[in-house]
Amino acid sequence: MIGLRWAAVRFGGALLTLFGVAVVVFLVLRVIPGDAITASMGIESGTLTEVQRASLEHYYGLDKPLVVQFFSWLGQVLTGNLGVSLISGQSAASLIGAALPITVELAVLAAVIGTAAGVLLGMFAASAPGRWRDGTAQTVALLGLAVPEFVLGAVVVAALASYFGYFPDTGTFVPLTSSVTGNLSQMIYPALVLAVGFAANVMRTTRSAAVEVADADFVRTARGKGVPAGRIRSRHILRNASVPIVTITGIQFGYLLGGTVIIEQIFALPGLGRLLFTSIENRDYPLVQSSVLVVAVGFVVVNLLVDLLYRVIDPRTRAA
Amino acid sequence: MSAVLQVSGLRTAVATADGPLEIVRGVDLAVEAGETLAVVGESGSGKSFTALSIAGLLPAGATVTAGSIRIDGQETADLPEPARRRIRGAQIGMVYQDPMTSLNPMMRIGPQVREALTVHGWTAAEATRRTMEVLDEVGLPTPGAMARLYPHQLSGGMRQRVLIAIALAPRPKVLIADEPTTALDVTIQQQILQLVGGLRDEYGLAVVWITHDLGVVARIARQVSVMYAGRIVEQASVLDLFGAPTHPYSAALVASVPPMRGTDRGDLPQIGGSAVPLADLPIGCPFRERCPQSIEICAEREPDLLPRNGSHAACWVEPGDWT
């Protein structure tokens, strides 16, 4: 079902992309003023003598050519050493390892809710294009897109606090492994906020794809067979509209991996977004570098999965 | 023997920005079991809308406004959608013009045929057995393997066979074929014509074959209705239509078929002008302005379809008086 050649080409492509990402991440941090010495020593680095600076540069490997520095860094990354946080002294790998599952859980929750709501709303709108239900659904979606998530997040936090006496940003975080209900009661609100914009995009894509497919000849064939309208929508229209829906879902999911910075801040979730935010604030370069790399890897992996899904969904793509 | 399909006074209109526009303006048809009626006309003559009206497959915005459509004596024109759905497929099968786009590209062949049965209450086992049987009947080799293929793995001719299988699987009484050979190669056309002809005899189907191709008419049908501007202008046997047409439009159509034999390489006769727009029908006979026979009354009243020389024609001028 999934051709070996295709897999080889696609995985090779993904590896190349990741290599490119590594190069960019590495270079960007070398271009920013200040190196590892100024970052760790601050203004004191200005008082270093030539000899002291040279020995420190040798210690950090900064005296070697850029290419050598890059590959030695890449080698470290590939063996799981993402460096050490300049602030806490903890390994970046363990900090990211603790933060990543929270962000992934948040993104998965938002994606599941957003996709389900978006597809339902989109099919609802497409079932009578140009009529009142279409207009209503499209207006709702536009509203969902127009309200920024930081506004919606703040409103939700304020509403929860004043009407339910629940303060999501003061409690300590409960991991999924220690209490599923405790964890979900913390995660559901930020996930819902993220799901709004997610659903709006999925809705618009679903609607336009479904409206287009509904005009296809094979839908008329299905009607001619006497298939009931509901089954035509689920078995014939939605199936054939699913490729663009999977695409928009994948793109948004990938975006969420790095795009939860604000929402994690508002809801005080110790996820990757928050880690990235604080490490940028603290100029904790090794941590910024490895967090960005992890987000990028996540994006590439999600894209690979989406490509794989196309082949599962659409038999025509398997032949090529 | 009474007709399996009996259509009378059928009128179909589509909603436009300027109000409803009549596309089918009072059509009568009757087809008996085991017979084929060909409906001929140029684009815009209303032949496809006639077919879709009978099959209950009109697109959004189009409705049957008057008339009766009886299948085996049962009136179907005024049925509500749920009852209509149960007739579609089960009692009227339909085959379409473009086999390349008329199958769901994401579903295997087997389930697409099976669905035509299960939605009409066939049990899973019966539906599976019948699917294999009908795939075999339409001449597809190795039905078991065929059922597992996707449409893109089949040629146009094979896809049209699958669509015929879908139409015939629930053993309908009526088959509506809307130009099913137009998109196919000539050799495949011939195969499909033979296949449908054979199945019609085997099943005792009443077939309505919509086409613009008089060559096809001669090969599939014994009776033919010629449509122009939403009405039937001549109703005749195929032999009479080709031998002694009773309407000037049919006569012009027959004359414009290229001769099969002979050395005459002269220009083919054409019908001057173009089809009248339905939104802008003139008073009187709609064919008047293209008609070489037209007389005074043609500009005043539209003629009714009346018996003439063994056929039926809607024309004020008798063939004997033609110039």
Q: Is residue A73 part of a domain?
A: yes
**Weakest-pLDDT range from A28-42, A178-192, B218-232:** A28-42
How much is the pLDDT for B263?
59
B176 to chain A, minimum CA–CA distance in Å?
A: 11
pLDDT for the residue numbered B1: 54
pLDDT at B87 over 70: yes
Mean pLDDT of A142-161: 89
Range B5-221 classified under CATH 3.40.50.300: yes
Asked whether residue B240 carries a pLDDT value surpassing 70, the answer given is yes
Q: What is the pLDDT of residue A192?
A: 94
- What residues of chain A lie within 8 A of the CB of B57, using their CB? 220, 223-224
Q: Show which residues on chain A lie within 8 Å of chain B, measured between beta carbons.
A: 216-218, 220-228, 231, 235-236, 239-240, 313-316, 319
* Cα angle A40, A46, A51; round to 5: 90
User: pLDDT (tens digit, 9 = 90+) per residue, A107-151?
Assistant: 999 999 999 999 999 999 998 888 898 999 999 999 989 998 889
Report the half-sphere exposure of A193 (CA within 13 A, side-chain side).
25
Each residue's pLDDT tens digit, A1-22: 557 788 888 889 888 988 998 8
**Given pLDDT bands bounded at 50, 70 and 90, which one contains residue B265?**
low
Task: Please state the rounded mean pLDDT for residues A33-41.
Answer: 67
Lowest-confidence segment of B6-10, B90-94, B252-256 by average pLDDT: B252-256
Q: What is the ipTM of this complex?
A: 0.89
How many distinct structural domains can be found in chain A?
2
Answer whether residue B107 shows pLDDT above 90.
yes
pLDDT at A68: 87
State yes or no: pLDDT of B175 exceeds 70: yes
- Looking at residue A317, its pLDDT comes to 81
Is residue A240 located within the same domain as residue A298? yes
Across A170-177, average pLDDT: 76
Mutate to test the interface with A, among B104, B118, B182 (most CBs of A within 10 A): B104
Average confidence score pLDDT of chain B:
90
The residues near B106 (Cβ < 8 Å, ≥ 6 apart) are A239, A240, A313, A314, A315, B150
Coil, helix or strand at residue B283: coil
Does A223 sit within 8 Å of B104, measured CB to CB?
A: no
Please indicate, yes or no, whether residues A253 and A312 belong to a single structural domain of this protein: yes
Minimal CA separation from B102 to chain A, in Å = 4
The CATH number linked to A164 is: 1.10.3720.10
Judgement on whether residues A19 and A142 belong to the same structural domain of the protein: no
Question: How confident is the model over A27-43, as a mean pLDDT?
Answer: 71
Q: With an 8 Å Cβ cutoff, are A228 and B163 in contact?
A: no
- Spell out which residues of chain B touch residue A236, defining contact as CB-CB under 8 Å: 104, 107
Last residue of a domain, one of A23, A46, A78: A78
Environment class of residue A104 by beta-carbon count within 10 Å: exposed (0-12), middle (13-18) or buried (19+)? Answer: middle
Q: Residue ranges of the domains in chain B?
A: 5-221, 231-257+276-321
Residue A137 and residue A200 share a domain: yes
A147 and A236 assigned to the same domain: yes
**C-alpha span between B13 and B8 (Å, rounded):** 16
The whole-number pLDDT of residue A36 equals 65
Choice between B215 and A36, residue whose per-residue pLDDT is larger: B215
Q: Count contacts between A and B (CB, < 8 Å).
A: 75
The mean pLDDT value of chain A amounts to: 87
Task: Judge if pTM exceeds 0.90.
Answer: no
Q: Which helix (H) or strand (E) holds B95?
A: strand B92-95
Q: Are residues A63 and A137 in the same domain?
A: no
Q: Which residue range(s) make up the domain with A263?
A: 97-319
| pLDDT, position A316 | 86
Q: Is residue A91, in this structure, part of any structural domain at all?
A: no
Q: Is A53 a member of any domain?
A: yes
A235 lies in a domain? yes
Same domain, A209 and A310: yes
Long-range contacts of B136-139 (CB under 8 A, 24+ apart): B137/B165, B137/B168, B137/B199, B137/B202, B138/B162, B138/B164, B138/B165, B138/B168, B138/B195, B138/B199, B139/B191, B139/B195
- Judge whether A89 lies within some domain: no
Domain co-membership, A34 together with A170? no
Q: Tell me, yes or no, whether A296 lies in a domain.
A: yes
Are A108 and A247 in a shared domain? yes
Judgement on whether residues A182 and A226 belong to the same structural domain of the protein: yes
pLDDT for position B39: 95
Does any domain span residue A85? no
Assess contact for A257 and A299: CB atoms under 8 A: yes
Model confidence band, residue B112 (pLDDT cutoffs 50, 70, 90): very high
What is the residue-wise DSSP string for A181-234?
HHHHHHHHHHHHHHHHHHHHHHHHHHHHHHHHHHTSHHHHHHHHHT--HHHIII
Domain end, chosen from A78, A107, A128, is at A78
pLDDT of residue A128: 87
Cβ-Cβ contacts under 8 Å for B90 (sequence gap 6 or more) = A226, B120, B170, B172
* CA A149-A155-A159 angle, 5° bins: 145
**pLDDT value, residue A296:** 87
pLDDT tens figures, B113-172: 999 999 999 999 999 999 999 999 999 989 999 999 999 999 999 999 999 999 999 999
Same domain for A52 and A154?
no
Instruction: Tell me, yes or no, whether A211 lies in a domain.
Output: yes
